[in-house]
Amino acid sequence: MARVPFWRRYARWLGPNVKADVSDELRFHVETKTDQLIAQGWNPADARREAERQFGDLREVSQMGEQLGNERERTRQRKDYFGALLQDLRYAVRTLGRDRAFTAIAVVILALGIAANTAVFSVVNTVLLRPLPFPQSDRLAWLSSDRNLDPKIREVAGLSAITYTVDAFEEYQRHNHSFEQVAAYNPFFGNGEFTMTGHGEPQAVAGVMVGGNFFETLGVHPLYGRLFTKEECQKNGRGAVLLSYPFWQRQFAGDPAIVGQTVILSKQPALVVGILPSGFDFGSVFAPGSRFDIFVPAVMDILRDWGNTLALVGRLKPGVSVSQAQAEADILFPQLKAAHPQWWGTYDSTITSLKDFVTGKLRRSLLVLWSAVGVILLIVCVNLSNLMLARSSARSKEFAMRMALGAGRGRILRQLLTESMVLSTGGAILGLMLAFVLIRYISRQGSIALPLLSSIQVDAAAMGWTLLVAALAAALFGLAPAFKVASGNLQDALKDSGQGMSAGRRHERMRAILVVSEIALACVLLVGAGLLLRSFLRVLDVDLGFEPSRAAVIKIDYDDQGKAERRGPILQNMLENISAIPGVESAGVTDMLPLGRNRSWGFQAKGVAYRKGDFLAALVRIVTPGYLPAMGMRLIGGRDFTWQDGTHNEPVVIINQAAARQFWPDRDALNRLARVNGHDTRVVGILSDVREHSLEKAATPEMYLPVMQADPEGAELVIRTKLPPEALASSVMKALRAWNPAQPAAEFRPLQNIVDQSVSPRRFFVMLVASFALLGLILASLGIYGVISYSVARQTQEIGIRMALGASVSQVRLGVIAGTLRLALAGVLIGTAGSLAAARWIASLLFGTRPSDPMTFVSIVLLLCAVAVAAGYFPARRASRIEPMTALRAS
Amino acid sequence: MDKSQLELVRGTLDVLILKALVWGRMHGYAITDFIHRESDEALLVEEGTLYPALWRLENKGWVESEWGLSENNRKAKFYRLTSEGRRHLREETKTWEAYAAAVGKVLGASRPRIAEES
């Protein structure tokens, strides 16, 4: 740095003036020369002329001087700025280093706030902001055939209500002009479950049946090998399979040589044609929370007779918008329906962008989460403002001294802001590390049914966000002490007392405002979290209609050669073997468990004339006798199936209460005839409603058919036990292997897991929001404590005088606590108003809880007051122990 | 102008200015004076060259300036050497001495030996 002090660099007050400098300098030269000539005997006028003549072209030299001077000024400014910055930085690090406790607390608090923000931003960025992980994913759209369904039915009608028949798919594919490609996959994932043999132990693999152009439409290219050929997608074509990247890694140790080899899938040979890239995770986009191992061609000619089996994804032509595609579909589907009167449904379709389909439902939850961490950040800033304020009070003499020595206010403000920046940089570094750990943990929670979860990471965007958040925080919490310094009175500060009465009051008020806003913010956060937590408890509390405890599920495999009459005896034999295992209470088989996959079949009461447009369908589950008791489901009328309900006996059905209510609104449904997919079927039992979609949705009409009379889609064995289910895992497996040597090594899952997975998104959000709220509460209570104890310390003298004048210990204590409570109440009042607004905003995320739930509000208010009292108690106790004499002498 | 005065060899002005400042700060006029005097009035630095040269040196960081009062009580801009300038002067002096000695040797040479052989 330059040795010349800045005030001597320039000859004038108003900063640098290059032009004047140059002319002054040259004028001095000419004048001195003139003087000399006069001394030599020239007359003054001639001397002047001679001096100028000798100098040469004055103007040219001045111009050059100005140019060089400007150049110099520019570099000097730059150097000064960085020099000062370096100085500030060095000074900041030194002062902060001296005050280790303060620095550590500030950095940790900041790190917590920043970590929460970075982590949530990473989630929001991946799920909401970033496009889906496919090339040109903005052109991908989702079709669902539920446009003319009642919204209430749409919500619960299950997959069958949004899917298409092969015919509808092919007709639309042929006739539409909006899409470059329309592709299909079979979302009834049970169809894609296979037992893989030939490579080690028989193994259950989860697969998806996809249309020939599915990957092409998404823009996914295989890592090795190729996609399916036309022949492989046709009936009696050669079996082919694509492996997902994780499955390939797990099962074949990532050996590319597997491409071109044959594996056996449920006894059918299939050629491994390719490996999909690691970036493609079908489950995370189309079926959050599930994992898929393989992909097989959906053979349209086989699926043609299966009803609604295809979910559609399309790639729009360039320049075609979703709404244009929708407008075309609104015209096209009625035309197609008119051309095909035999179609069961109309297939009027809703077209949304794929992104909306995947993440649309999460938008609100994620925004809530984002706001929650925003509030955390505010609380952090308020807290730090408080800390900085207290610190700057203690340093007021230092600032006054520096100002007296010539430092401008601007310079001191800059110094303070540099300190804030250093602190928040420290916080950001630590916070980023915390966020990294947190995100790593979250992204590995494969069982949480949230889309795109596996691809969440702290990326460049998240780091940028961290930087922004840290800078914002530094500016926010750095401002409060800066204002204080700016408004400070030099003389007051330099005087020994350092605290003018009026200035003291003003700062007291500022601190009070900070505490009140902190409590208000914490209140909003806590009420929001409280409402969500209560909703979550309500969800856990719903009557599922079945009993998840002490029951477990295992996927089983058997070979009935597609004949219904063989299926009964096979399963009966197996169930008898299983029931013989000690500890097994009951056992049964279903094709689909509740809270998972579903499908619906046509259902109506026989002899009733329905209006066009009535929703004549019900979810269908195909079960064995014994399944209902094994699940803990409750029959409220009629009987369970028996093994006598065989192929040649009268077709029977058990329906749930919702179905009974809908199809026989004014009569007892028991023993009446229903038409199931057009066949007369006797209602032999009525079942108490089961939550079949999710815990949060009321039951819809549902029917149970015996396996002997209808074709199941997969098989899940449910075992109810007297012992903890895990204890039986091996003996059950042994019995299954004895019964069917090809039984794959499947997971023995407690039924509770299925329930847990169903509530996992809500649990995930509640856990996050609740932990943020807890963090907010801790920070807020620390803040209150800090402010109260600081103000007690400042009032030591006053308290001493009051005690000397006869105030009792309890009076002093009460005084301090009352002051705290006053602040808390003000905060709670503002916070409650804010909470009401926030609660209305999150109303759609609540379950069985009103946004104004008095219980939540009252308990949060009480909690905050209790925290305030506790935070005030310790300073109060300290205040009451003040020795009057010491306090008085201290002045 | 006096015929006995010499034209300055290109690049030497910088060194002369730096040398002038070795003993302390000086304003531009004093520098011309110094060079003129110390060269036994053989070297005359034109103002039109001196000032730009000074400013360039200042931009390079070899000299720095401050305002002060001159001996005749006028406001004048004084220049002083920076430590970098001092270092540069040392190097340049060495180079110059070697150069001058070499040129002197060549110019003072008697009949070259190579010519004898050819």
What was the pLDDT predicted at A498?
43
User: Which CATH number belongs to the domain containing residue B23 in this structure?
Assistant: 1.10.10.10
Assign A810 a pLDDT band (cuts: 50, 70, 90): confident
Among A169-173, A526-530, A798-802, the minimum mean pLDDT is found in: A798-802
Q: What is the CB neighbour count within 10 angstroms for residue A509?
A: 10
Q: Which residues of B touch A54 (CB under 8 A)?
A: 47
- In percent, how much of chain A has pLDDT > 70? 93
User: Phi and psi of A593, rounded to 5°?
Assistant: -85, 160
- Asked, for residue B6, whether it belongs to a domain, the answer is no
- The domain of A838 spans 362-542+758-890
Interstrand relation of A294-297 and A203-210 (parallel, antiparallel or unpaired): parallel
Cα(first)–Cα(last) distance of chain A, in Å?
A: 44
A864-888 burial string, b = 16+ CB within 10 Å, else e? bbebbbebbbebbebbbebebeebe
Rounded to the nearest 10 degrees, how much is the dihedral formed by the CA atoms of A566, A572, A577, A578? 120
Domain co-membership, A435 together with A344: no
Higher pLDDT, A308 or A628: A628
User: Phi and psi of A243, rounded to 5°?
Assistant: -100, 140
Closest CA to A200 of A262, A276, A256, A252: A252
Which among B28, B48, B59 has the least Cβ separation from residue A71?
Answer: B59
Using CA atoms, how far apart are residues A145 and A603, in angstroms rounded to an integer? Answer: 19
- Asked, for residue A205, whether it belongs to a domain, the answer is yes
- Average confidence (pLDDT) over A35-47: 87
Which parts of chain B register pLDDT below 70? Answer: 1-10, 112-118
Among A494-508, A514-528, A831-845, the minimum mean pLDDT is found in: A494-508
Q: What is the CB neighbour count within 10 angstroms for residue A746?
A: 20
- Asked, for residue B94, whether it belongs to a domain, the answer is yes
What was the pLDDT predicted at A733?
86
Q: Is residue A24's pLDDT more than 80?
A: yes
Of these ranges, A118-132, A780-794, A876-890, the one predicted with the greatest mean pLDDT is: A118-132
Domain co-membership, A576 together with A641: yes
In the DSSP assignment, the letter for residue A708 is T
**Whole-structure pTM value:** 0.73
Domain co-membership, A209 together with A263: yes
Sign of CA dihedral A48, A51, A56, A59: negative
Mean pLDDT, chain A, whole residue set? 84
Domain co-membership, A224 together with A324: yes
CB contact under 8 A, A25 and B76: yes
User: Phi and psi of A257, rounded to 5°?
Assistant: -65, -10
Residues A178-232: pLDDT tens digits?
A: 999 999 998 887 777 788 887 777 788 888 999 989 999 999 999 999 999 888 8
What was the pLDDT predicted at A114?
92
Q: Which residues of B touch A32 (CB under 8 A)?
A: 29, 70, 72, 74
Domain boundary at A696, A715, A743, which? A743
Side chain identity at A186, as an amino acid letter?
N
User: What ipTM was assigned to the predicted interfaces of this complex?
Assistant: 0.84
Among A172-176, A515-519, A879-883, the minimum mean pLDDT is found in: A879-883
- Neighbouring-strand partners of residue A635: A687
Among A325-329, A813-817, B79-83, B103-107, the minimum mean pLDDT is found in: A813-817
Assign A74 a pLDDT band (cuts: 50, 70, 90): confident
Q: How many domains does chain B have?
A: 1
Q: Which residues of A touch B59 (CB under 8 A)?
A: 68, 71-72, 75
Using CA atoms, how far apart are residues A144 and A168, in angstroms rounded to an integer? Answer: 12
- Asked, for residue B41, whether it belongs to a domain, the answer is yes
Angstroms from A25 CA to nearest CA on chain B: 6
Residues A380-403: pLDDT tens digits?
A: 988 888 888 777 777 777 777 877
User: Phi and psi of A603, rounded to 5°?
Assistant: -150, 135
Using CA atoms, how far apart are residues A619 and A654, in angstroms rounded to an integer? Answer: 12
CB contact under 8 A, A28 and B58: no
Domain boundary at A306, A336, A360, which? A360
In the DSSP assignment, the letter for residue A182 is E
Assign A499 a pLDDT band (cuts: 50, 70, 90): very low
Q: Is residue A679's pLDDT more than 50?
A: yes
Domain co-membership, A693 together with A800: no
Domain co-membership, A348 together with A367: no
Residue B24 contacts residue B18 (beta carbons within 8 Å): no
Assign A153 a pLDDT band (cuts: 50, 70, 90): low
- Average confidence (pLDDT) over A514-531: 90
What was the pLDDT predicted at A496?
46
CB contact under 8 A, A3 and B64: yes
- Asked, for residue B7, whether it belongs to a domain, the answer is no
| Residue ranges of A 39-98 with Cβ closer than 8 A to chain B | 54-57, 60-61, 64-65, 68-69, 71-72, 75
Q: Is residue A493's pLDDT more than 70?
A: no
Domain co-membership, A241 together with A151: yes
- Asked, for residue B85, whether it belongs to a domain, the answer is yes
Domain co-membership, A384 together with A496: yes
Which residues on chain B place their C-beta less than 8 Å from a C-beta of chain A?
27-29, 46-48, 51-52, 55-56, 58-59, 64-67, 70, 72, 74-77, 82
Q: Is residue A816's pLDDT more than 70?
A: yes
Assign A491 a pLDDT band (cuts: 50, 70, 90): low
- The domain of B82 spans 12-105
Q: Is A627 exposed, middle or buried (CB count within 10 Å of its CB: 0-12, 13-18, 19+)?
A: buried
Angstroms from B64 CA to nearest CA on chain A: 8
Using CA atoms, how far apart are residues A737 and A745, in angstroms rounded to an integer? Answer: 9
Angstroms from B34 CA to nearest CA on chain A: 14
Residue of B nearest to A28 (CA): B76
What was the pLDDT predicted at A313?
92
Domain co-membership, A510 together with A652: no
What was the pLDDT predicted at A14?
54
Domain co-membership, A520 together with A626: no
Domain co-membership, A235 together with A377: no
> Residue written as tokens 């003072």?
B108
CB contact under 8 A, B56 and A68: yes
How far from A134 is each of A138, A222, A225, A773, A808, CA to CA, in Å? 9, 13, 19, 36, 74
Angstroms from A83 CA to nearest CA on chain B: 16
Using CA atoms, how far apart are residues A720 and A552, in angstroms rounded to an integer? Answer: 7
- Asked, for residue A98, whether it belongs to a domain, the answer is no
- Asked, for residue A253, whether it belongs to a domain, the answer is yes
- Asked, for residue B40, whether it belongs to a domain, the answer is yes
Among A267-271, A408-412, A666-670, the minimum mean pLDDT is found in: A408-412
**Residue of A57, A72, A80 for testing the chain B interface, max B β-carbons within 10 Å:** A72
Side chain identity at A29, as an amino acid letter?
H
How far from A510 is each of A63, A385, A513, A787, CA to CA, in Å? 55, 10, 5, 11
Angstroms from B72 CA to nearest CA on chain A: 8
What was the pLDDT predicted at B113?
64
- Average confidence (pLDDT) over A770-786: 86
Q: Which residues of A touch B29 (CB under 8 A)?
A: 28-29, 32-33
Domain co-membership, A812 together with A712: no
- Average confidence (pLDDT) over A781-809: 80
> Residue written as tokens 């496009």?
A131
Q: How many domains does chain A have?
A: 4
Assign A485 a pLDDT band (cuts: 50, 70, 90): low
What was the pLDDT predicted at A488?
58
